[in-house]
């Protein structure tokens, strides 16, 4: 909500409150310079008090009197024609605010000591600056803001209240009261008991008392800047003080002093403008800044799709006005985009759907051969599968063994064929034919290579290695032993012979073996 503050400083008087009388010493009660009769004659710039309140506006000399007050003990008075014209002037305790409505009132009565003539058209003039007119004549050059009616003669029944409303132009701080026209035919009326021989020399004097000037309307609302500004992400807007207020001294809460600023990304920005009027009026205003975040748009659903399958995508948004789609059935891989209308324009979000990599691989580990009646175990595993039909399986005879598994998109199987254990020794034990003691990364030594998982079938084992002259280089009965050629042995071909006793499907068998191995350095 825009808030408007008026602060006015004039004559060191307090800031105006609603309903406060703006006229100092309105009933003439304070008179520091009055004589013992309660009388003081005023002149231009010189009053009855210091600092001055009531003074004369022209060379005429109005007065403080104590003859017939409306209230209290004192009142004012001035001549309104025939011998001379006099005017009372005073200031307001605060400048008048532009477009504010005020009520001005005072009480007026003809002098009870010489009530032969009374007049009409008593008026008030309001201006900015002191009312000092160095002339003895009526203030005909001024057009009063108020004047009693022509022919309405004031004073037939004592004090009378004159009251009017005034809409300020802004900055007015002084006023004058009196008659602003020469007396002519029809401007006076005789109310005495005996007409004077020379009416033109007959004085016409009026008493005035109990002046009041109050504000009767609310302060005018001046919107310097909008109440609310909305910023979208990345959007730039400006705040500008309108004319004529941009001619004043401007102070933003951001520290800037120019008439136009970029809208900052903060909750509230304030501005204070000091006008260049006589009152140095201060206007304050504020703008609440709403910073809209980006709309939170989501596409919910799987990132992949099975070949020949489908997936449902759902679009959601917390603050969107409209979505191009809310749900979408996808049957092909690709990039899918939803467009949203928001308070800040259009936003788009995309989701990429790929073909699911459905290449699950089942592996079955275990023996390749078995003797009927033996017990062996097969194990199954899969890196992209679920629900394997088995992970461990005990077998006791040759045959085909199948495992079933599920992937994201399909069901797959794997089969392992288990044969009858081969009775040939070659299927159980092998020997290298080359040794590289200090060369290759393999075969640094010579030893039997027993088929994995069949070590328990070896009952007894011996082998011997000879050189070409029949010398024994190693002889052992331990199948784990190995021949590590001595550094001094030459590169050559060496002979090995041996015997193995092993468990076959039909019982224990014994086989001999022989061969050659080449030493390479």
- For the residues 342-356, what does the mean pLDDT come to? 93
Angle at 217 between CA 251 and CA 215, to 5 degrees: 90
For 465, list phi and psi in degrees, rounded to 5.
-120, 135
Alpha carbons 25 and 35: distance in angstroms, whole number? 18
- Cβ–Cβ under 8 Å, residues 26 and 104: no
Alpha carbons 80 and 158: distance in angstroms, whole number? 17
* C-beta neighbour count of 282 within 10 angstroms: 17
- pLDDT at site 15: 39
Strands 411-420 and 369-370: parallel
Asked if residue 51 has a cis previous peptide bond (ω within 30° of 0), the answer is: yes
- Cβ–Cβ under 8 Å, residues 46 and 125: no
Q: Tell me which DSSP letter residue 44 carries.
A: B
Alpha carbons 273 and 6: distance in angstroms, whole number? 10
- pLDDT at site 3: 42
For the chain, what percent of residues have pLDDT higher than 90? 63
Q: Among candidates 3, 8, 52, which has minimal Cα distance to 170?
A: 8
List pLDDT tens digits, range 373-410.
788 999 999 988 888 999 999 998 999 999 999 988 88
- pLDDT at site 185: 84
List pLDDT tens digits, range 234-251.
899 999 999 999 999 999
Residue found by looking up tokens 């033996």 in the block: 374
- Cα dist from 133 to 194, 252, 281, whole Å: 36, 43, 28
- Cβ–Cβ under 8 Å, residues 109 and 155: yes
- pLDDT at site 509: 85
Residue 84, strand partner residues: 81
- pLDDT at site 28: 98
- Cβ–Cβ under 8 Å, residues 306 and 288: no
Confidence band for 11, pLDDT divided at 50, 70 and 90: very low
Q: pTM surpassing 0.75? A: no
């Amino acid at each position: 909500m825009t808030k408007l503050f008026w602060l006015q400083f004039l004559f060191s008087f307090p800031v105006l409150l609603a309903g406060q009388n703006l006229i100092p010493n309105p009933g003439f009660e304070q008179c520091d310079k009055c004589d013992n009769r309660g009388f003081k004659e005023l002149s231009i710039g010189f009053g009855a008090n210091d600092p001055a309140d009531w003074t004369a506006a022209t060379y005429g000399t109005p007065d403080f009197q104590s003859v017939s007050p409306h209230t209290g003990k004192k009142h004012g008075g001035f001549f309104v024609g025939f011998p001379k014209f006099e005017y009372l002037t005073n200031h307001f305790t605060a400048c008048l605010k532009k477009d504010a409505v005020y009520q001005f009132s005072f009480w007026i009565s003809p002098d009870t000591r010489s009530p032969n003539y009374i007049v009409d058209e008593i008026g008030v003039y309001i201006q900015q600056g002191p009312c000092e007119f160095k002339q003895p004549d009526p203030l005909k050059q001024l057009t009063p803001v108020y004047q009693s009616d022509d022919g309405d003669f004031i004073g037939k029944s004592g004090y009378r209240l004159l009251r009017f409303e005034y809409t300020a132009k802004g900055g007015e701080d002084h006023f004058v009261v009196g008659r602003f026209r020469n007396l002519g035919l029809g401007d006076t009326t005789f109310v005495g008991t005996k007409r004077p021989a020379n009416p033109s020399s007959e004085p016409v004097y009026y008493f005035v008392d109990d002046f009041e000037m109050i504000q009767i309307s609310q302060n005018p609302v001046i919107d310097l800047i909008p109440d609310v500004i909305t910023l979208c992400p990345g959007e730039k807007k400006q705040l500008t003080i309108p004319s004529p207020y941009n001619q004043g001294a401007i102070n933003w809460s951001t520290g800037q002093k120019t008439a136009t600023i970029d809208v900052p990304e903060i909750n509230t920005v304030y501005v204070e403008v000091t006008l260049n009027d006589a009152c140095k009026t201060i206007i304050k205003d504020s703008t609440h800044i709403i910073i809209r975040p980006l709309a939170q748009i989501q596409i919910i659903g799987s990132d992949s799709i099975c070949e020949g399958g489908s997936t449902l995508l759902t679009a959601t948004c917390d603050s969107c006005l409209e979505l191009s789609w809310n749900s979408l059935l996808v049957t092909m891989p690709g990039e899918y985009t939803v467009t949203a209308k928001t308070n800040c324009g259009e936003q788009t979000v995309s989701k990429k759907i790929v073909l699911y990599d459905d290449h699950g691989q089942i592996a079955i580990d275990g023996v390749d051969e078995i003797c009927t009646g033996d017990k062996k175990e097969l194990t199954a595993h899969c890196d992209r599968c679920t629900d394997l039909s088995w992970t461990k399986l005990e077998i006791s005879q040759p045959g085909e063994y199948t495992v079933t598994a599920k992937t994201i998109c399909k069901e797959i199987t794997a089969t392992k064929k288990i044969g009858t254990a081969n009775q040939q020794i070659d299927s159980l034990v092998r020997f290298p034919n080359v040794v590289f003691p200090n060369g290759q990364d393999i075969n640094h030594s010579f030893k039997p290579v027993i088929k994995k998982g069949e070590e328990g079938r070896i009952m007894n084992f011996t082998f011997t290695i000879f050189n070409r002259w029949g010398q024994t280089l190693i002889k052992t009965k331990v199948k784990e032993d190995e021949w590590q050629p001595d550094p001094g042995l030459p590169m050559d071909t060496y002979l090995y012979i041996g015997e193995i006793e092993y468990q076959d499907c039909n019982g224990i068998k014994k086989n001999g073996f022989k061969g050659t191995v080449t030493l390479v350095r």
